[in-house]
Amino acid sequence: MLGRIEGMKDVIEQVNRQFKDPDLTTFVCVCIPEFLSLYETERLVQELAKFEIDAHNIIINQVIFDEEAVESKLLRARVKMQQKYVDQFHMLYDDFNIIKLPLLPEEVCGVQALQNFSKHFLAPYSAALKRGSVEELEERVGTLKSALQEAESELDRVRKGKQVA
């Protein structure tokens, strides 16, 4: 019995050494851009650090990238909320490798789907060009120009108010 315990101790120590060697083992945290996930990721990173296990990689999954193409108010609100947490991940883990992966309309199932999805690990995901007709794009550009003009006017009013005061 003592021999078995000694044998197990050797295996446990070997595994422990491997886990602590960043050339052999690294832990990749996978999360989503929400408060609870950010909180749990922080707890995980702290626990892994206590045990000297490398965890300098974070994947933020299910990110909605294309705010301009989102027609739903609910999804636009989610984009805004997600961006807040993505920004917090970058502030907390500025020395980590952070990869953002898109929310997809379908599950990643099968070899081909996995191969297609895996390209996002090598190059940052970029949102597709805006969908729609030329007329829809021109309308969006017009809306954005109007919003920009309003913002510039407001900025001018604020600047003039500060000069008077």
pLDDT digits (tens, 9 = 90+) for 103-122: 888 899 999 988 888 888 88
pLDDT for 129 beyond 60: no
pLDDT band at 68 (very low <50, low <70, confident <90, very high): low
Kindly state whether residues 7 and 74 are assigned to the same domain: yes
91 contacts: CB under 8 Å, gap ≥ 6: none
Kindly state whether residues 113 and 141 are assigned to the same domain: no
User: Tell me, what's the pLDDT at 160?
Assistant: 83
The pLDDT of 27-47, averaged and rounded, is: 96
Kindly state whether residues 71 and 152 are assigned to the same domain: no
For residue 45, CA distances in Å to 28, 63, 94, 116 come to 10, 21, 13, 29
pLDDT band at 57 (very low <50, low <70, confident <90, very high): very high
pLDDT for 75 beyond 70: yes
In terms of Cα–Cα distance, which of 104, 100, 107, 103 is closest to 121? 100
Kindly state whether residues 113 and 136 are assigned to the same domain: no
Alpha-carbon span 149 to 155, nearest angstrom: 10
Q: What is the pTM of this model?
A: 0.69
Kindly state whether residues 111 and 145 are assigned to the same domain: no
Out of 1-15, 48-62, 80-94, 129-143, least confident range: 129-143
Q: Which two tokens stand for residue 63?
A: 């990110």
Number of domains into which the chain is organized? 2
Q: What is the DSSP string of 64-111?
A: ---GGG---HHHHHHHHHHHHHHHHHHHHTTTSEEEEEE--SS---SH
Kindly state whether residues 2 and 61 are assigned to the same domain: yes
90 vs 140, residue with greater confidence: 90
Kindly state whether residues 13 and 79 are assigned to the same domain: yes
User: Tell me, what's the pLDDT at 67?
Assistant: 63
